[in-house]
Amino acid sequence: MTTTPSLTAEELSLGYGDRTVVSDLDLAVAPGAITVIVGANACGKSTLLRAMSRLLAPRTGRVVLDGRLVHKMPAKELARTLGLLPQSPIAPEGITVADLVGRGRHPHQGVFSRWNERDDEAVAEALEATQTAELADRAVDELSGGQRQRVWIAMALAQQTDVLLLDEPTTFLDPSHQIEVLDLLTDLNQARGTTIVMVLHDLNLAARYADRLVAMAGGRIHAQGEPADVLTEENVRAVFGLESRVITDPTSGRPLMLPIGRHRVFEPVAG
C-alpha cells in the first residue's frame, strides 16, 4: 500500500462569476482519516469539494496534493489518486450496474489500451465491497435509492484512489441505508487507509462517523477538530442559527445534538 497522500487547501478563494463563495480558506485534510464537512445550505461545501478535486479553478490560493498543485496536475493522473462522487451524478438510461461501475476505470485506461484483468478485478472488488454484485446485470435506473447510491460508491471505489471526496452521499436515503453507506465508507477507510472527505447534512451522523469534523459558515471554516470539540451548542448556534442541547451519545460516546424549536419543549431555554 502506498503512503497516504496529504491534501491541503491554502488561502483558497472560490466563486462563480463575480460572486465570491469561499474566501481565504485553509484546510489540511488529515491523511488516512475521515473528515466530515457540515454547514448550512449554500455555505460553500460543494464548492470547496469541487475546488479540491479541480472541478473549479481557485480565484486565489491553491490546493496541494502531496506537494503538487492539483490544478496543474495531468487530469488522469490526479484522477488515479483523488476521486470525487458529486452530489448528483447522472446514470445514462438503461446502463447496467457493472457497466456503470466499470466507468470508474476511466483514469486507468489509455485511449487505445484495452480493458484488462486489473480493470475486471477492480470492478469485482468494488461490487463486492458495496454488496452490489447481485445487482451487476440490473439497470441502474430500476434500483432503489439506497442501491443506486451504493452503485455510485462502487464506481468511485473502482477508481481506486487513495483520497475519496463525497458530496452528500447519504442525502435522500432512509436511515438504515444512510448507516449502511457510512459503515461501508468506514470499512473502506479502515481496510485500505483511504482518506475520506465528505459532506453530510445530519450533524449526529457526522459527529459519529467523523475522525475530524469541519463546520463551515458563509464560505469560511468556523470550527474544526474532534467531533466533541466542534459539535457544541455554541457552534450549532453560530453555524446554523439553531438552539440545541448537545449530550453524549450513549452508543458511541460521540456528541449528540438535540435541536430545540419553539414547540414541544418542556422548559423555555434561557437566552
Partner 1 sequence: MSADLLTRPAGTDRVTTAADVARGRSRRARRRRTVVLVLLVLVVAGFAVSLMFGRTNYSASEVMRVVLGEQVPGASFTVGRLRLPRAVLAVFAGFAFGLAGVTFQTMLRNPLASPDVIGISSGASAAAAVGIIVFGLNGTAVSVLAIVAALGVALLVYLLAFRDGVVGTRLILMGIGVAAMLDSVTAYALSRAAEWDLQEAMRWLTGSLNGTGWNQVTPTVLAVLVLAPVLLWQSRNLSALQLGDDTAAALGVRVERTRIVLIVAAVGLIAFATAAAGPIAFVAFLSGPIAARIVGPGSSLLVPSALVGALLVLVADFVGQYALGTRFPVGVVTGVLGAPYLVYLIIRTHRAGSSL
Ligand X SMILES: Nc1ncnc2c1ncn2[C@@H]1O[C@H](COP(=O)(O)OP(=O)(O)O)[C@@H](O)[C@H]1O
- CA 11 to CA 23: how far, in whole Å? 8
Residue from the set 67, 90, 262, 266 that interacts with partner 1 by CB under 8 A: 90
Q: How far is CA 184 from the centre of its chain?
A: 13
* In the complex, least distance from residue 213 CB atom to ligand X, rounded to whole angstroms: 15
Q: Give me the least distance between CB of 80 and partner 1, in Å please.
A: 7
Nearest-5° angle of CA 220, CA 225, CA 226? 145
Identify the residue whose cell numbers are 435506473: 141
- Tell which one of 124, 179, 242, 260 touches partner 1 (CB under 8 A): 124
Give which of 217, 215, 166 is closest to 189, Cα–Cα. Answer: 166
Q: Is 16 in the site for ligand X (CB under 6 A)?
A: yes
CA-based torsion, 167, 192, 212, 185: positive or negative: positive
Task: Give CA–CA dist 18/249, Å, rounded.
Answer: 43
Name the residue whose CB lies closest to Mg ion.
46
User: Does 259 interact with partner 1 (rule: CB under 8 A)?
Assistant: no
Query: For partner 1, which residue of 9, 29, 37, 78 counts as binding (CB under 8 A)?
Result: 78
Query: Is the Cβ of residue 106 or residue 245 nearer to partner 1 in the bound state?
Result: 106
Stretch that binds partner 1, among 93-101, 197-205, 209-217, 237-245 (CB under 8 A): 93-101
Single residue of 115, 144, 172, 175 touching partner 1 by CB under 8 A: 115
Pairing of strands 220-225, 212-217: antiparallel
- The three-class DSSP label of residue 72 is helix
Distance linking the first and last C-alpha atoms of the chain: 52
53 binds Mg ion (CB under 5 A): no
Partner from Mg ion, partner 1, ligand X, none binding residue 84, C-beta < 5-8 Å depending on class? partner 1
> CA 216 to CA 12: how far, in whole Å?
14
Query: Considering only residues 7-46, where is the footprint of Mg ion by CB under 5 A?
Result: 46
Query: DSSP alpha helices (H): ranges in the chain?
Result: 45-52, 75-81, 97-103, 117-129, 145-158, 175-192, 203-209, 227-230, 233-240
Q: Which is nearer to ligand X, 5 or 44 (CB)?
A: 44
* Inter-residue contact 63 to 9 (CB < 8 Å): yes
- Of 38 and 101, the one with the shorter C-beta distance to ligand X is 38
* Interacting residues with ligand X between 38 and 77 (CB under 6 A): 39, 41-47
In the region spanning residues 39 to 58, those forming contacts with partner 1, defined by CB under 8 A, are 50, 53-55
Give residues in contact with partner 1 (CB under 8 A): 1, 50, 53-55, 75-80, 83-86, 88-96, 98-100, 102-104, 106-107, 109, 111, 115, 117, 120-121, 123-125, 127-129, 131, 133-134, 136-137, 139, 159-160, 184, 187-188, 191-192
Give residues in contact with ligand X (CB under 6 A): 16, 21, 39, 41-47
